[in-house]
Structure 1
C-alpha cells in the first residue's frame, strides 16, 4: 500500500486543529433559555450536547476520508519479467569395459559417475543437457533437452557394453558431442568428458576434435577417473564364480589436459567418489546460467471508495441536521 499524493495527508493537521477548536469552544459556551417549568424536559438529558457531538463526528470522519481520497491510496501487484540465457551441456561418458573397476567402492567407476552426473543435472536450471556415450564407437544417448527428468532416466539406462564394442574412442566421442552443439545458439556450450583410459580406437584424433570444438566456441572439461596404480576389477570365472583381478592404471592425462587447454576448459583428476562429486560441484559453479530480472509494479487506486464514504458521511450529517437532530427555532 502507498499514497500517490502523500502531501495531501498534511491536510489532516488543520482538520484536527479545527475539531479541537470546536470542542474547546463548546466547553466554554454556555447557553441560557428561559422556561417557566423545567419539568417538561426532565429525563431528556443533555440532548443538545449529544446532537452536536454526533454531527461533529460525522463531519470529522467525512473530512478524514476526503483527505485520504485526495492522497490516493494505492495497492501494488509486483510482477517480474525474467530473461534467461541457458547453457547447452553434453555429458560425454566412457562406457568401456575398464569402467567396471571397483576402486570407487561400493560401486564401480561407471556407477559412481552416473550417480554424480545425475546430481549435477538436478542442480542445473534453464540449461539444455544431452548425453553421449562411447567405447570403441560413440552414440547419442540423449539429445539436448531441458527435461531433466528424461535426462536422468537416460542416465540410469547407461551400462557398460551398451555400444556392443570395447575400446576407447575419445576423439570420435568428442566429434559426436561437437556435432550436437555446433548449431546451438546458447550463450555458452560445454562438453564434460569423463573417461578412465586413453584413445585407442576411432578415426578422429582427440586433440583434432578439441580444435574442432574451439571453432564452434565449445569449451571442454575433461575428467580422468580412477585411483593411481592398480584397481580391483571383477571377473566372472565359470569355475570359481566372481573373483577380482587387479588392472593397471591406463589414464592418458597428457591428452586430457591438452584437450582442456585447447578449448580453454580445465582438466580434473578424480581418484575417489568424493573427489568426483567436488569436481562436478566446481564445474557447476564455474558455468552459471545468466538470469536477468526486471520488476514491474502495477498499482490500483482506492480513492473512489473513500470519496464515496466521505460523501455519504456529509449527506448523513446534512440529513440528520435537518431532521431528527434539527435545531430548535
Structure 2
C-alpha cells in the first residue's frame, strides 16, 4: 500500500492520545458512578442502562475517528496506466561571468545574485527545456537544452568569474552561441534570458536583431547592477583594495541599460533591472515566459495509483451510523418478544 499524502502520516500519532483520553474519560465516568452507588445497586437504580452498548459505542467512535484520520493521508493500492502529455518551450540562459560581475553593489555580488535568481526561475519550470551559456570575452554552451534540471543546476554551480579564460565582455558572441543552441524546427516559442550588467567591449549585439526576429526568439534582459556602480574587488581578494587597470586607475563598473532595453523591446521580450533582494527573474517569468506558447514535447504512459480513501471514509461513516444506532439503554424484555 502507498500513501498519496505521506506528509500527513505523522498526524496518525494523534490516535495514541485520542484513544488514551477517551478510555480515561470512560473509566472516570464509571468511577463517578461507583462513588454514587455500589455497582450491585445499578440494576435497581438504572435498570435499563446497557454497559455493553456504551462500550460498543465508544469503540465504534474511536475506530471511525482512526479510519477517518488515516483517510487524510490518501491510502492507495492498485494502479492504472494513464497517458501523460508534456508541453514546454525552450529557454537558454546567457550569463555574464566577466570580472565586473564581482561588483558588490548587489550583495554578496552581482554574479551570486544572478545565480540565486536562476535557481528560482528553474523551480518554476514544468517540462520546459533549459540551456545555459556562460560568457565573458568569449562564450561557451555550458549546458545544452535539457529537462534534467538537476544537471542544469550542477552546471550553474560550476560557473564563476574566470570560467571563461578570455577577459572582457562580448554580448554579441554570447547571443550567437545561444541562437545556435536552439533547434530549428519547433512550434513553441523560444526565449533567451540575458543576464549582464550591459558593459560590452566588442561586437554589436543589435546587429542580431534581424535574425532574432526572423527565428521568433525573444530576449528577456536582466540588467544586474546599479546605475551608480561599484568599484571592483581585486583578483587576489585583498581587503581594502580595488582592481586597477593597466594605467593604475581603479575600475568602477556601472549598469548600462540602453542595449539591453533595445534587445528586449524589439524582440517582444521584457527588460527588468535587478534590485537588492530581488533578482528580477520572478518578474520576467510572471510577465513574459509564463505566457509563451508551448508545444507537446512527449507523450508517455505513466502508472497512476488508485486512491482508496473513499473506502476508508465510507467505513468511518458506517461506524458513526452504528454508534448512533446503538442505544446506551437496554431494550426491555417485553419489547424483545414483540
TM-score (norm 1): 0.58
| Map of 2:211 onto structure 1 | 212
> Following the alignment from structure 2 to structure 1, what is the Cα–Cα distance between the partners of residues 128 and 289?
12
State the secondary structure of the residue aligned to 1:235: coil
The CA deviation string for residues 136-167 of structure 1, in whole angstroms up to 9 with x for no partner, is: 10111001111000000000001101110111
Q: Deviations over 1:85-121 (max 9, x none)?
A: 311000000000000011222x211111112102211
Structure 2 runs not aligned, ≥5 long: 1-78, 243-249, 300-338
Q: What secondary structure, in the 3-state scheme, does the structure 1 residue paired with 2:234 have? A: strand
User: Which residue is equivalent to 1:98?
Assistant: 100
1 or 2, which has the higher strand percentage? 1
- Aligned-partner SS, 2:181: helix
Larger Rg: 1
Q: Is 1:136–2:137 an aligned residue pair?
A: yes
| Structure 1 ranges of 4+ moved more than 6 A | 290-293
Deviations 1:280-327 (A, max 9, x none): 44345344756899xxxxxxxxxxxxxxxxxxxxxxxxxxxxxxxxxx
Is 2:290 aligned against 1:285?
yes
Q: Which structure 2 residues correspond to residues 47-86 of structure 1 after superposition, within 5 A?
A: 81-86=83-88
User: Paired residue for 2:275, among 261, 271, 286?
Assistant: 271
**3-state secondary structure, aligned to 2:207:** helix
1:275–1:156 CA distance, 2 compared to 1 (3 A): closer
2-side partners of 1:154 and 1:218: how far apart? 23
Partner of 2:230 in structure 1? 231
Q: Are 2:232 and 2:252, in contact at CA under 8 Å, matched by a contact in 1?
A: no
Q: Distance in 2 between matches of 1:277 and 1:211?
A: 25
Q: Given the superposition, is the C-alpha separation of residues 97 and 186 from structure 1 closer, same or farther in structure 2, using an over 3 Å criterion? A: farther
User: Equivalent of 2:239, from 237, 242, 252?
Assistant: 242
Equivalent residues in 2 for 1:163-178, closer than 5 Å: 163-178=164-179
Q: Is 1:120 the equivalent of 2:124? A: no
Distance 1:108 1:280 in 2: 20
SS of match in other structure, 2:167: coil
Q: Quick check: 1:270–1:279 contact (8 Å CA) kept in 2?
A: no
Structure 2 distance, partners of 1:103, 1:236, is 17
1:272 shift after superposition:
2.2
Distance 1:232 1:83, change over 3 A: same
1:174-220 deviations in Å (ceiling 9; x for gaps):
01100111525251110000101332124xx2112232121211111
Task: Find the counterpart in structure 1 of residue 69 from structure 2.
Answer: none
Q: How far has the Cα of 1:237 moved from its partner?
A: 6.4
Partner of 1:255: 259
In structure 2, the CA distance between the partners of 1:290 and 1:237, relative to structure 1 (3 Å rule), is closer
The answer (yes or no) to whether the contact 2:178–2:192 under 8 Å persists in 1 is yes
Instruction: Tell whether the 8 Å contact from 1:125 to 1:289 is kept in structure 2 after alignment.
Output: no
SS at match of 1:242: coil
User: Residues 117 and 280 of structure 1 are in contact (CA less than 8 Å); yes or no, is this contact kept in structure 2?
Assistant: no
TM-score, normalised to structure 2, is: 0.57
What secondary structure does 2:145 align onto?
strand
